[in-house]
Amino acid sequence: MAQAVVHVEGQQHPIKLYLWVWGWLFILSACSYLVDYFHFQGYLRWSLILLFMIIKAGLIVGVFMHMAWERLALVYAILVPPVAVLVFLAIMVFESDYTLLTRLTFFGAGP
């Protein structure tokens, strides 16, 4: 098996890699701005926004924060706990739907 690179003195990567990621972050930000500029609506808008957001977050965490080169013991310790946020998100979606329903029922018509 290939041996992983030893980083005795911190992480060393070519500057070119950072510039490349920087460029992609610019392109992806411009893309998400254009989603708004061209007034995409509905599921197309939301899925594009989330797609660009996730790719940008991945590039920042993976390359700029060097997560791609860390041992799995650290990667999982940091990246797995935020999954709990998704559970919380699901709970709050149900909660807010219920709140909206009661408001519409008792306070009359909304949007």
Partner 1 sequence: MAQAAVSDNTGDVRARPAGWAGVAADWSSDQRAFKEVPWGKAMMWVFLLSDTFIFSCFLLSYMTVRMSTTVPWPNPSEVFALTIAGTSVPLILIAIMTFILISSSGTMAMAVNFAYRRDRVKAALLMLATAAFGATFVGMQAFEWTKLIREGVRPWGNPWGAPQFGSSFFMITGFHGTHVTIGVIFLLVIARKVWRGDFDRGTRGFFTSRRGNYEAVEIMGLYWHFVDLVWVFIFALFYLW
83 makes contact with partner 1 (CB under 8 A) = no
Three-class DSSP category at 44: helix
DSSP helix, strand, coil percent of the chain (3-state; round to 5)? 75, 0, 25
CA atoms within 13 A on the CB side of 98: 6
44 makes contact with partner 1 (CB under 8 A) = no
Binding residues for partner 1 (CB under 8 A): 1, 3-4, 6-13, 15, 18-19, 21-22, 25-26, 29, 32-33, 35-37, 45-46, 49-50, 52-53, 56-57, 60-61, 63-66, 70-74, 76-78, 81-82, 85, 88-89, 92-93, 95-97, 99-100, 103-104, 107, 110-111
